[in-house]
Structure 1
Amino acid sequence: MSAPDYPKTRRGDATETIFGETIADPYRWLEDDVRNSPEVADWVERQNALTNAFLDRLPAREWFRSRISELFDFERFSTPYQRGGRYFYSRNSGLQNQSPLYVRDTLDAAPRLLIDPNQWADDGATALSGWAPSPDGSKLLYSVQDGGTDWRILRVLDVATGEVRQDEIRWAKFTGLAWVGEEGFLYSRFPEPEEGEDFQALNYNQAVYFHRLGTAQESDQLVFSTPDHPERNHSASVSDDGRWAIITSSIGTDARYEIHAVSLDDTGSGDWTARALVTGFDNAWKFIDGIGDRLWFVTNEDAPLYRVVSIDLAAGHPQWREVVAQQDQPIDGASIVGDRLILSYLRDASSAVRIYTLDGAEAGEVALDGIGSVGGFSGHPGNDEAFYSFTSFNRPPTIYRMDVASGETTIFAQPEMAFDPDNFVVEQRFYHSKDGTRVPMFIMRRRDLAEAGEPLPTLLYGYGGFDISLTPGFSASRLAWVEAGGAYVVANIRGGGEYGKAWHDGGRRASKQNSFDDFIAAGEYLIAQGITAQGGLAIQGGSNGGLLVGAVVNQRPDLFAAGNAGVGVMDMLRFDRWTAGRYWVDDYGYPDREEDFRILRAYSPLHNIQDGVDYPALLVTTADTDDRVVPGHSFKYIAAMQEAERGERPQLIRIETRAGHGSGKPTDKAIAEAADIMGFLAYWTGLDAPE
């Protein structure tokens, strides 16, 4: 199964001279929106036809499709959220394309179906995105995501009857859902784009609006905007007691915010005056909650691993006061439930949970079941219960209910599994990168194969960007890989948030090469330690992780047998020209500044493809409705890779329709894509499907 004859891709003559260097861009025409360009649509059709014909021949693909479907077929619950005595949560019976939303009128009542998004579209590609019940639980604000786009449509329904109200909000994106009493809600939106530009135009001038129920969107009141600074983003949340609206403003992807507070006691008269609490975009400030005039935040001001502070807005001269000092591990989440602060920490990229009083006195820990990730905690100040989830590589999420006063936990929902978790071993190891930095990795193998100690076909996954931490979590497709006899590895490379601000800073901007060096060192370690053999290593990453795969394939093609670059940022000289791409300069730098350009040019996957290189087998995956990382990145990259004089292994692209960057993808499409990827990587690493 060597490289096929690729479809002919027209080469244009576009060039730019940037800081004295002439940059050829022959495939710039592939940046055009597939919906508006017949030529791009034809190219997509021809590429998909070639890829599908190739994938149809993969011997392990059908086994992966069948087994992933079986492993996917378990009940999946979201963490319950209680409002007005009612409990709201999503539940997927197993293979439903989208997860319906249920409500219980009391904790012990039978669940009642509230919203079934599977009825919204024949292809299952319209999803229920965010949702928020009103304070008394009588109404539900929810957002609709169609075809994977980042745009959202907001609607409201009556919880008792299930009737959808007439309220409808368009052009919401990157928005919170924040009720103001029972009268209306705050949301964030952008101006309506020009016709045909909704999937590519840059996002500027986000603003916060108040929508009063029963009125048209055109009557919504502007609450907060910065027209003199159109690059700023603004999102609203409301304290649990409804006293304060908190406006969090950002200028990119960095956790550097300004914070304003609006007293909701005054909004009945139409006064939305915003009071500045934090200015300057210097540090992270994450709102936890408020009780009366006292507000709690997590911040990394003077604390790169984060600390908890509070402020009393009723004081004559409000001052920030430290509540919980920085610890030796970064804070990953914070909630106020009952009269307790519940803080989640990252201990070498695995969760640990500590409890404090509201004044910062230690009040215990939450016992977790080994290496894993905790989600939540869902609850309210003054309540006596909290809900949280726990998951790991070999354990699907289980939902727990905790009595806050006693600390006692009980299981709220636990899935029945189509496998025995004890048949798998999850371990954490540490290795050293090129510059000597100690980097953690997680390794999952079948217990019998781990004890035998023989090298296994190995799938190495990474991300390394935007302060995002990779923590243990369940994946049906990765478990199927391990069941088939492979090893699955997650490398916690620099650029993520696993060790706080320094870890993030160590893998971005001028230090971005550290992310690639860390990932390459992970592959070298796995071979040196006998986890895998030379020729048995596959790599995978999505979004910023797709960039990671593209960069390391260029830098060390000899190290990897195969790779999957999903929805990747591949053109580092033009990424800031579409939709949300302008935000990413915080991590990548500015292509129009010479110092940054030199760095970006040195590792940009599109611009560092070389003739005469024996590249790994590559399957690039993207989607036509991805308006986060527009598919033109992947189109141009694979066109250049197919044009290059390379080895015998294939470089293919799989382009999903009516799907976006990942969220909202229906289950059947997710399973089909995972089977294609795993079947492809298995072939080139020598992983045979079980009989």
Structure 2
Amino acid sequence: MSKCFPAAAALALAIGLSAGTAHGNEENVVSDPHQWLEGVEDAKALDWVKAQNAKAEAELASTPQFAQLEAELLAIYDSDDKIPGVYKQGEWYYNFWKDKQNPRGLWRRTTLEEYRKPRPQWEVLIDLDALNKAEGENWIWHGADCLRPDYRRCLVALSRGGADADVTREFDLENKSWVEGGFFREEAKGALSWIDADTVYVYSDFGPGSLTESGYPRVVKRWQRGTPLVSAVPVYEGKPDDMYIAAMHDHTPGFERDFVSRTLAFYNDELYLVAADGALTKIDAPNSANKGVHRQWLTLELREPWEVAGRTYPAGSLLASDFDAFMAGEREFQVLFEPTDTTSLAGSSWTRNHLVLNVLEDVKSKLWVLTPGADGWARRPLAGLPEFGTVSASAVDDEESDALWLTVTDYLTPTTLMLGDAAPDAPAPEVLKTMPTFFDASKHVVEQHFATSKDGTRVPYFLVRPKDAKPDGRNPTLLYGYGGFEISLTPGYSGGVGKGWLEKGGTYAVANIRGGGEYGPRWHQAALKANRHKAYEDFAAVAQDLIDRKITSPAHLGIRGGSNGGLLTGNMLVQYPELFGAVVIQVPLLDMQRYNKLLAGASWMAEYGDPDKPEEWAFIRTFSPYHLFDPEQKYPPTILLTSTRDDRVHPGHARKMMAKMLESGQDVRYYENIEGGHGGAADNRQAAHMDALYLTFLWQQLAGEPGAPAPAP
């Protein structure tokens, strides 16, 4: 199995300590009158939350139109006709599934022969709703790690209410039961990972001093079955200001290796090879490079230029080297990808004999197959795929075959799942599943445009508009963005946005602003720390371009973003209020003076900066919506959405901003889901309710109630 360390894990953290703040030694000086709202489970704070929720419900959720939309969204999210995504373990194909009858979900499996059928027969392994009922819990599925090669024993992670913190329990797939006296990890941020049938790596909360300042594991240990956790043998201990420490065993036959990953910050990590005697040898590659190991190969995806052995490789390149030769000191590389002004590497996936690259060119994807040989690496485009949409590829089983899962989608075309092959003589991909049509897309068209940002940078954005839309500035338009952590926004089918916005006649736009990964590391790095304002200037430029084209006007233009995207829309609210008629801010960062003291916030200082350093607070303050808020300014109508159980981005950000906006008489409403974690919702019903809230709010503000005339521009 190929290993890629540890950027994938770090990205997952992008996208706490269950209550309160992460720092116990923080000064007790409180100058913010709303800071009491940071008490996540504080009774007074929760009473305040419930009062705000009631007002939002009364305003938005009391109409027949809301009830209809919520029901339509729930029907989509619960649909039995959605594509059940699967992954292969041994001869079985596994899936986790939620629907109306199973709101918390089923972990189940089937055969490929069954999976090809319109209605496969599934073997249920864990019924999470039944487990919750039996145990009086509110478990949310966090995944299962099953031990190769027989895949009988699995380490199952379960979260209470959707928090990042979870427990790990051992499960027997043959008996379909929990292993009595098996491996068990108490609730914390961290994990267990298999070494062999009787040994695991454990990185978790071992007590005082064992967590980083970000609230993630600082210590990793080797734990033997049948022994108490306190006797687990330390493998590596990071520093308090590191971000995340983990370890893993590569089970690939003939290439078994152990690794420790030390993540210092986002896109700043060290990878160590663990010898049989426990000695650690650092992989001598740049900390900023994404390091992958697959069989005999080491791959390095560079995020900064690297000068080595008399040659400089540009940022965004993908290099390959023989792993053992590299560890022996050789520095010979094959360049597998090198970016241009319009291209970037969106991802890669190994099969048994090939490496498949997903390349974005102006945010449109193309797949290439690379094959190592005696004369270097041959390359060719992957044949048999449609010419439109976002295309992605992942290996079905990278040890046994060159089979690929292939998906194709765009904003108006339901996602299609195909089974293909990376071999040069492979037949055309086989269509396995197609998502049903959840909304009428016949009246819309997808376009790509480019806006010009304040500094002259060309910023792409996608536009989904009615074919007959008139350029009169009156089209209700929703603009979405994220712009952080090198995450790319590519076209994809959303039944919720389609049903709740497009089918009503709305226009939808997605901005590919700096801070994201659409043009590789340079696009991300252009908006870090003191340059954060460039992401916001890009988003404002896209909004202005929509207005200049008369697609819409400020009175009809709404925006939405969550997490880092909530920081984006929060800045749009306070810095560009004249551009928008409605603002949706979800699970946001807003108080950038205290973000590093709240839950996982300290892990994002490589992105935003350290507000405790005066020289950095000087620029962070310029994009802290909580501090830029002016009570004398009239802001556009706003809704803030968050979750009590979000232990990644603290709900205090949204709570305090709501309190400040209420004080100055702003047009604002607030809804906090009691469960849901950073995703905001713990099941489909909660997701449908929250989505119906923001969609109803936007339609009311930008187009009026269904059937009512649109407000004048």
Cα separation, 2, equivalents of 1:437 and 1:315: 39
Equivalent residue runs for 1:259-274 within 5 Å: 259-263=271-275, 266=276, 271-274=277-280
Contact 1:373 1:472 in 2 (8 A): no
- The worse-fitting range, judged by mean Cα deviation, of 558-567 and 94-103 is 94-103
Contact 1:613 1:645 in 2 (8 A): no
Query: How far did residue 564 of structure 1 move?
Result: 0.8
Residue 705 of structure 2 corresponds to residue 685 of structure 1: no
Residue 70 of structure 2 corresponds to residue 52 of structure 1: no
User: Structure 2-normalised TM-score?
Assistant: 0.84
SS at structure 1 position matched to 2:321: strand
Q: Pick from 127, 151, 173: which aligns with 1:116?
A: 127
The residue type equivalent to 1:598 in the other structure is A
Q: In the alignment, what sits opposite 1:298?
A: 301
Q: Structure 2 vs 1, CA of residues 446 and 168 (structure 1 numbering), >3 Å: closer, same or farther? A: farther
Residue 524 of structure 2 corresponds to residue 508 of structure 1: no
Output the aligned Cα RMSD: 3.0
Q: Between the two proteins, what is the percent identity of the paired residues?
A: 27
SS at structure 1 position matched to 2:171: strand
Residue 662 of structure 2 corresponds to residue 662 of structure 1: no
Q: In the alignment, what sits opposite 1:25?
A: 32
The residue type equivalent to 2:418 in the other structure is Y
Contact 1:79 1:376 in 2 (8 A): no
Contact 1:71 1:417 in 2 (8 A): no
Equivalent residue runs for 1:621-636 within 5 Å: 621-636=641-656
Q: In the alignment, what sits opposite 1:6?
A: none
Cα separation, 1, equivalents of 2:148 and 2:35: 50
Q: Structure 2 vs 1, CA of residues 524 and 353 (structure 1 numbering), >3 Å: closer, same or farther? A: same
Q: Structure 2 vs 1, CA of residues 660 and 129 (structure 1 numbering), >3 Å: closer, same or farther? A: same
User: Structure 1-normalised TM-score?
Assistant: 0.87
Contact 1:495 1:505 in 2 (8 A): yes
Residue 452 of structure 2 corresponds to residue 432 of structure 1: yes
Residue 600 of structure 2 corresponds to residue 580 of structure 1: yes
Contact 1:602 1:608 in 2 (8 A): yes
Contact 1:75 1:91 in 2 (8 A): no
SS at structure 2 position matched to 1:69: helix
Cα separation, 2, equivalents of 1:603 and 1:484: 34
Q: Pick from 449, 466, 482: which aligns with 2:485?
A: 466
Q: In the alignment, what sits opposite 1:169?
A: 185
Contact 1:373 1:392 in 2 (8 A): no
Cα separation, 2, equivalents of 1:664 and 1:676: 13
Q: Structure 2 vs 1, CA of residues 153 and 99 (structure 1 numbering), >3 Å: closer, same or farther? A: same
Equivalent residue runs for 1:59-458 within 5 Å: 60-72=65-77, 73-77=79-83, 79-93=85-99, 96-104=102-110, 107-108=113-114, 110-121=121-132, 126-136=139-149, 137-165=151-179, 166-173=182-189, 175=191, 178-192=193-207, 202-203=214-215, 205-213=217-225, 215-226=227-238, 228-241=239-252, 243-253=256-266, 255-263=267-275, 266=276, 271-278=277-284, 281=287, 283-287=288-292, 289-291=293-295, 293-300=296-303, 301=306, 302-313=313-324, 317-323=328-334, 324-328=336-340, 329-358=343-372, 359-366=376-383, 367-368=385-386, 370-374=388-392, 376-405=394-423, 406-407=425-426, 408-447=428-467, 449-450=468-469, 455-458=474-477
Cα separation, 2, equivalents of 1:320 and 1:58: 67
Q: In the alignment, what sits opposite 1:12?
A: none
Residue 489 of structure 2 corresponds to residue 478 of structure 1: no
Q: Structure 2 vs 1, CA of residues 171 and 225 (structure 1 numbering), >3 Å: closer, same or farther? A: farther
Query: How far did residue 178 of structure 1 move?
Result: 4.1
The residue type equivalent to 1:674 in the other structure is D
Query: How far did residue 656 of structure 1 move?
Result: 0.6
Q: Structure 2 vs 1, CA of residues 305 and 611 (structure 1 numbering), >3 Å: closer, same or farther? A: same
Query: How far did residue 181 of structure 1 move?
Result: 3.9
Cα separation, 1, equivalents of 2:87 and 2:517: 27
SS at structure 1 position matched to 2:382: strand
Contact 1:463 1:541 in 2 (8 A): yes
Deviations 1:203-237 (A, max 9, x none): 155233334455544443333222x4552422334
Cα separation, 2, equivalents of 1:245 and 1:321: 24
Contact 2:371 2:378 in 1 (8 A): yes
SS at structure 1 position matched to 2:88: strand
Cα separation, 1, equivalents of 2:139 and 2:54: 25
Query: How far did residue 423 of structure 1 move?
Result: 4.5
Contact 1:171 1:192 in 2 (8 A): no
SS at structure 1 position matched to 2:649: coil
- The worse-fitting range, judged by mean Cα deviation, of 517-526 and 318-327 is 318-327
Q: Pick from 532, 542, 548: which aligns with 1:528?
A: 548
Query: How far did residue 44 of structure 1 move?
Result: 1.4
Deviations 1:146-186 (A, max 9, x none): 212111211222222211113211245255x6432444443
Query: How far did residue 688 of structure 1 move?
Result: 4.0
Q: Structure 2 vs 1, CA of residues 543 and 614 (structure 1 numbering), >3 Å: closer, same or farther? A: same
Q: Pick from 561, 568, 586: which aligns with 2:588?
A: 568
Deviations 1:566-614 (A, max 9, x none): 0111101110002210011111111122221111222211111113322
Query: How far did residue 450 of structure 1 move?
Result: 4.4
Contact 1:376 1:387 in 2 (8 A): yes
Cα separation, 1, equivalents of 2:353 and 2:550: 51
The count of aligned residue pairs is 650
Contact 2:471 2:550 in 1 (8 A): no
Q: Structure 2 vs 1, CA of residues 331 and 315 (structure 1 numbering), >3 Å: closer, same or farther? A: closer
Contact 1:509 1:586 in 2 (8 A): yes
Cα separation, 2, equivalents of 1:390 and 1:485: 25
Q: In the alignment, what sits opposite 2:690?
A: 673
Listed as ranges, the gaps of 5+ residues in structure 1 are: 1-17
The residue type equivalent to 2:502 in the other structure is V
Deviations 1:400-452 (A, max 9, x none): 211232343112333333335554322211111111110111112344x3489
Cα separation, 2, equivalents of 1:229 and 1:280: 22
SS at structure 2 position matched to 1:541: strand
- The worse-fitting range, judged by mean Cα deviation, of 554-563 and 362-371 is 362-371
Contact 1:153 1:169 in 2 (8 A): yes
Cα separation, 1, equivalents of 2:570 and 2:689: 23
Query: How far did residue 657 of structure 1 move?
Result: 0.6
Q: Structure 2 vs 1, CA of residues 311 and 550 (structure 1 numbering), >3 Å: closer, same or farther? A: same
SS at structure 2 position matched to 1:610: coil
Query: How far did residue 321 of structure 1 move?
Result: 3.5
Cα separation, 1, equivalents of 2:83 and 2:189: 25
